[in-house]
Structure 1
Amino acid sequence: MILNIDLVSDFVCPWCFLGAVRLDRALAELRATRPDIEPRINWLPFFLNPDTPPAGEPYRAFLEGKFGGPVKAEAVLDQVREAAAGDGLQYAFERIATRPNTLAAHRLLYRAQAHGHKPERVRALAHALFAAHFQEGRDIGDLDTLADLAAACGDRRELVREWLERGTDADKVQRMAAGLRRQGIEGVPFFILDRRLSLSGAQSAAVIGAALLQALETGKPS
């Protein structure tokens, strides 16, 4: 039985990283009792700050400007760390120098899905993008970095690098993101389950799991 999951996220959103990890956990628990379920995740683009400069911007300065100074910014990061600790997810915010423009990163994931890469490969790439930014402090707006991440997930580095350089599918990704905002999605992560139910925020794995079951029950023929 197919279970379609649209996951709207941005790779500079720490709650999206946590939401993806919790979704993985919820799906693992679901498959343990429902091995007949075949989840299909469709990653959709969102831009937290569409006006981010193409080369990115200094990370700490952005946070402090957004949250009102270094003390308040650190308090927000502590909140994220505390929320993620129970899921075994650790952030290395101190390693992040640049808050990147994520258009190229979204294009890369769009390419993987459009080219029919296996779901596990697409998932690995998505998680690699999150980890590169939040755990390794790498600039995921940099095309060489993105090509390296794609290669580590089984793609051909030189082909990916050339594709990124051409700007291919930038218009499609931007239209998709704009369309999602027009539908009323203003915060991420945002889950759309089997086109029947929606779930907003980095909910717990238990809450996500319950929503997945509800989507399955709703989809049963009467």
Structure 2
Amino acid sequence: MIKIDIVADIVCPWCFIGKRRLETAIAMVRRNVPEFSYETRWRPFFLNPDTPPEGEPYLPFLEQKFGGRAPVEALFERVRAAGRAYDIDYAFERIELRANTLQAHRLLYWAQQRGNADALIERLFVAQFQRGEHVGDRVTLIKIAVDCGYPANELEAYLYSDEDSDTVSEDAQRIRAMGIRMVPSFILDGEQIIVGAEDPTVLATAMLQSLDAR
């Protein structure tokens, strides 16, 4: 079994593509090694750590960051083009708020104490980039998690507390201390780091190398 840590932020569009590319890479590895097994763990990264807890208008922030509407639209089109190959239809026009993702990362941390959270993060990416839902809002996050089969009463008690906030923040700091400044990044067995939403062939080759090294 290979342990795959995926460093990501829910508001990073390339992280959604990175998830799909990882899935493609895993299928490629299994064609060579049918018995291949893996375990994923999603690790927190704060792309915009200065985002207010309530969020802030999405498009004005991007226009200021990238120098106007035209560069932002060009960026959107590059992401859309990359996403189409993996059946991702981005709807950036639906996004109203730039979300603070601490609560979403806490939710992922909580879910991963109970098992695999791949389905949950898929739903979070869909919420952010296809439905325009506010993934920094606790009520929205509870609804998303309930849709994925998690119990509402436990979620409410957890998300309306500060439990694990420090744990998640400290993990994000450890990630940056490793030198990771770009997401998505993939860490194989705690050692090999692949930075960026790489082509599935690159990820598959890295996983096969990890298997061969054993």
User: TM-score scaled by structure 1?
Assistant: 0.93
For 1:77, give the aligned amino acid: F
Q: Count matched residues.
A: 214
SS class of match (2:190) = coil
One-letter amino acid of the counterpart of residue 147, structure 1: I
Query: What is the alpha-carbon root mean square deviation over aligned residues?
Result: 1.1
Q: How does 1:86-97 map to 2 (within 5 A)?
A: 86-97=85-96
Shift of 1:214: 1.3
Post-superposition Cα deviations, 1:152-197, rounded to whole Å, max 9, x if no partner, equal 1111112202210012110100000011111111111010112231
- Determine helix, strand or coil for the equivalent of 1:42: strand
1:26–1:209 CA contact under 8 A, matched in 2: yes
Instruction: Give the structure 2 partner of residue 207 of structure 1.
Output: 202
**Residue 152 of structure 1: aligned partner:** 147
Mapping of residues 1-222 of structure 1, within 5 Å:
2-114=1-113, 116-117=114-115, 119=116, 122-218=117-213, 220=214
Per the TM alignment, residue 32 of structure 1 is displaced from its structure 2 partner at its CA by: 3.5
Q: Compute the displacement of 1:47 (Å).
A: 0.2
User: Which runs of 5 or more structure 1 residues have no equivalent in the other structure?
Assistant: none
**Take 1:83 and 1:212, find their aligned partners in 2: how far apart are those partners?**
23
Which residue identity lines up with residue 15 of structure 2 in the other structure?
C
Q: CA–CA distance in 2 between the matches of 1:62 and 1:211?
A: 36
Write out per-residue CA displacement over residues 47-103 of structure 1, whole angstroms, 9 at most, x where no aligned residue. 011111000111101110110000111111111111122222111101000110000
- Over the matched positions of the two proteins, sequence identity in percent amounts to 46
Instruction: Tell me, in whole angstroms, the C-alpha distance in 2 between the residues paired with 1:190 and 1:50.
Output: 18
User: C-alpha distance in 2, partners of 1:90/1:22?
Assistant: 15
What is the CA distance between 1:215 and its match in structure 2? 1.5
SS at match of 2:42: strand
How far is the alpha carbon of 1:29 from its aligned partner?
Answer: 2.5
The separation in 1 between residues aligned to 2:89 and 2:20, in whole angstroms, is 11
* Runs of at least 5 residues in structure 2 that lack an aligned partner in the other structure: none
